[in-house]
Amino acid sequence: MKGRFIVFEGIDGAGKSTQIEKLRQKLVNEGRKVFITAEPTASVTGGILRDALAGNYKRSASELAAMFLSDRVYHNVNENTGILQALEKGFDVISDRYYYSSFAYQGLDSDIDWVMNMNLNCPDIRKPDLCIFLDLDAQKSKSRIDTNRATIEIFEKEDVLNKIRNKFFDVFGRLPDENIAIIDASGSIDEVAEKISQVVDSLNDQH
């Protein structure tokens, strides 16, 4: 059984963690092996990125984009927890964020063409089989963040979230050859999970 590489994207507060777990349960119940991963990774570079996102160290958008690229290469090729080795072993890999986030977040304040080119043209960065974008408006997203989080990251302000949401749609328009499913994330957890399930089931026809 060949593994599929599925990425979840969305502005902060859209419900990625919840829906990733729901999808994991569904796939395991179907007898599939599942590997859950995320960006930033647990690497040294990933730790530096988390500090920057928390606002502990100020980094330029270009610095962040370059560090995310480095972390993403590690994410793909490292021999212990890498995406490529997990897929080769027959695991479905589900990642909480991937290069689409770099395009949307760092693309706001850096050269988006540069950010996209260095990711899309890197030989060690694998293209996902499916990107699921959980779409939620910025006001609802900010409300969820304020309810569920003890600390707020640098991008988690309503006006910034709205700009990033718009940037994601700009990014998707630049990627006509990628398999991107935009899912309305404003419904109940089960309603959203059912929509995701239908999209993932359609991958079976391609594998």
**pLDDT per position in the chain (207 positions), as tens?**
789 999 999 987 788 999 999 999 999 999 999 999 999 999 999 999 998 888 888 889 899 999 999 999 999 999 999 999 999 999 999 999 999 999 998 998 899 999 999 999 999 999 999 999 999 876 655 555 555 554 445 455 567 778 889 999 999 999 999 999 999 998 999 999 999 999 999 987 555
Domain extent listing, the chain: 5-201
pLDDT score, position 152: 47
pLDDT score, position 11: 85
pLDDT score, position 138: 63
Phi and psi (nearest 5°) for 106?
-75, -20
pLDDT score, position 154: 42
**CATH number for domain 5-201, candidates 3.90.550.10, 3.30.2320.80, 3.40.50.720, 3.40.50.300:** 3.40.50.300
pLDDT score, position 89: 96
Classify 80 as helix, strand or coil.
coil
Going by C-beta distance under 8 Å and a sequence separation of 6 or more, which residues neighbour residue 16? 8, 9, 10, 96, 97, 134
Instruction: Give the pairing type, strands 130-135 and 5-9.
Output: parallel
Per the CB < 8 A criterion, the answer to whether 47 and 171 are in contact is: no
